[in-house]
Amino acid sequence: MDRNDIFLFIKKYFVDTFEIPEKKINLKSSLFEDLELDSIDALDMVGMLEAEMNIETNEKELKTIITVQDVVDYIIAKTSQQNNADLNSQATV
């Protein structure tokens, strides 16, 4: 997935799950102020990311996620870390 695919995935998730109008969702949208998510919504989003993107999250990193752009960047960082780990394990086999 590239950056745009991830954004579209996140946007669809917000529209389908939280019934947020598409026009409100852009990369600069604040999760809590603009999109009006609460802490339970944020936990739901984290659970979905872990399941759908097969990534592990940690509380310290999650506290830095404020905007939709932050979510996209986080997914890219986590999936590239995972891909690098997969490549390293294959190289040692």
DSSP-assigned letters across all residues of 10-49: HHHHHHHHH---GGG--TT-BTTTTS---HHHHHHHHHHH
Residue 78: how many CB atoms within 10 A of its CB?
A: 18
Q: pLDDT value at position 1?
A: 83
Residue percentage of the chain with pLDDT more than 70:
87
Of 47, 74, 78, 76, whose CA–CA distance to 62 is shortest? Answer: 74
**Percentage of the chain with pLDDT > 90?**
76
Say how many domains are in the chain.
1
Residue 56 is encoded by which pair of tokens?
């592990």
Residue ranges making up the domain that contains 77: 3-91
What CATH number does the domain containing 36 carry? 1.10.1200.10
Residue 10: its pLDDT value, please?
A: 97
